[in-house]
Amino acid sequence: MNNKFETLKADVQEIIDLIAAKNDREANNKLLEVSETLDEMIDFAEEDEEVREISRYQVLLNQLHVKINGEEEVDGNA
């Protein structure tokens, strides 16, 4: 389980770095890629702790999405 989340952590850091570099298009593309990965992970999550950790990342991605695009919700539920 930890390896999956280490990769996610690195991907989220990459998004943050792209935002800091004012590269919003690349940041948004990476955010969408990571969001899809999270959706797949939650579909196959077997433990409550995994679901909680995935949910934390989903909240963080939503906050980053708002930072990049100035709108609500990554999944289009604005």
Show pLDDT as tens, one digit a residue, over the chain (78 residues): 578 899 999 999 999 999 999 999 999 999 999 999 999 999 999 999 999 999 999 999 999 999 999 875 555 544
- For the chain, the domains span 2-69
pLDDT at res. 61: 97
pLDDT at res. 73: 56
pLDDT at res. 70: 86
Instruction: For the beta carbon of residue 48, count every other beta carbon within 10 angstroms.
Output: 8
